[in-house]
């Protein structure tokens, strides 16, 4: 348990938890769409069960992929590079993240988001089954991201549990914040590109220190927070300059 005293572990946990929360936004949106098909008194319960199933599916996939990654015996050799089961998972996961994040960024910037659904009433069990199937699909990117950012299974599980609990409590506000600041979602998707590249390099035995990855992410978040803060300020200096120019024109002969 000596890794608990390592500051890098806590930085990784905080970073991974934040990413898990942002990556869960799409899951939250689809859960909300499916829950809206139910009567109003069942919607909140369906959302809670849906997020609970999301946590269970993420942890289950996490343990299964982590077990596969322990298969370190070489399966075949390409030139001088020995490829094991772990390397296949890392390379495939990295390619998956690169493809998914690229398509998502394209969709956010160029595509149209038609995420709306008619309020067609259906049974509670049918909605829960649909949510469970969707949770498995949406869990892939978050689980692969967890494997790419953390070395300890306990850290990955703690980040998943913390993110889901946070989403259960602040699901409404969280959705409004991300929808009101699209650059946050784009930034998170850019992080996935970085994580995907890191996974591929790990699978090819090109190790990138996790500290470099954490620093790049933290610096990007810091710059984006400054950007949001500056944009939120009223443009008082511009207004003052305009008033000053008007006064000069009035006093001019």
Question: pLDDT tens, 140-166?
Answer: 667 777 777 776 778 888 888 888 888
The distance from CA 143 to its chain's CA centroid, rounded to whole angstroms, is 10
Cβ(13)–Cβ(155) under 8 Å?
yes
Residue-level length of the chain: 253
Separation CA 172–CA 29 (nearest Å): 10
Q: Which of 66-80, 87-101, 200-214 has the lowest mean pLDDT?
A: 66-80
Separation CA 235–CA 31 (nearest Å): 39
Q: Which of 47-56, 65-74, 112-121 has the lowest mean pLDDT?
A: 112-121
pLDDT the model gives residue 247: 67
pLDDT the model gives residue 124: 85
DSSP state of 37: T
Separation CA 32–CA 44 (nearest Å): 9
Residue 238 has pLDDT above 60, yes or no: no
Number of domains observed in the structure of the chain: 1
pTM of the model: 0.63
Give pLDDT tens digits for 178-216: 667 778 878 877 888 888 888 888 888 888 887 788 788
Chain position carrying tokens 């077990």: 67
State whether residue 223 is helix, strand or coil. Answer: helix
For residue 143, the enclosing domain spans: 2-251
Residue 105 has pLDDT above 60, yes or no: yes
Residues in a beta bridge with 76: 83
């Amino acid at each position: 348990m000596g890794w608990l005293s390592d500051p890098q572990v806590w930085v990784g946990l905080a970073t991974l938890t934040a990413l898990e929360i942002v990556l869960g936004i799409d899951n939250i949106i689809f859960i909300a769409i499916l829950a809206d098909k139910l009567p109003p008194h069942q919607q909140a319960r369906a959302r809670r069960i849906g997020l609970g199933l999301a946590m269970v599916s993420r942890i289950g996939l996490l343990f299964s992929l982590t077990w596969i990654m322990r298969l370190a015996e070489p399966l075949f050799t390409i030139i001088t590079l020995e490829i094991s089961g772990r390397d296949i998972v890392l390379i495939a996961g990295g390619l998956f993240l690169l493809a998914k994040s690229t398509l998502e960024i394209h969709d956010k910037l160029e595509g149209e988001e038609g995420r709306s659904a008619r309020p067609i009433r259906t049974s509670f069990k049918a909605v829960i089954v649909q949510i469970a199937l969707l949770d498995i699909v949406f869990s892939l990117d978050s689980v692969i991201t967890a494997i790419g950012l953390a070395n300890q299974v306990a850290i990955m599980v703690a980040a998943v549990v913390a993110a889901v609990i946070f989403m259960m409590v602040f699901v409404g506000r969280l959705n409004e914040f991300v929808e009101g600041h699209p650059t946050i979602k784009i930034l998170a998707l850019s992080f996935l590109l970085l994580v995907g590249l890191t996974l591929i390099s790990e699978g090819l035995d090109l190790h990138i220190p996790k500290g470099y990855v954490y620093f790049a992410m933290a610096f990007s978040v810091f710059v984006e927070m400054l950007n949001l803060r500056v944009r939120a300020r009223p443009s008082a200096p511009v207004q003052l300059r305009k008033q000053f120019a008007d006064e000069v024109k009035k006093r001019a002969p």
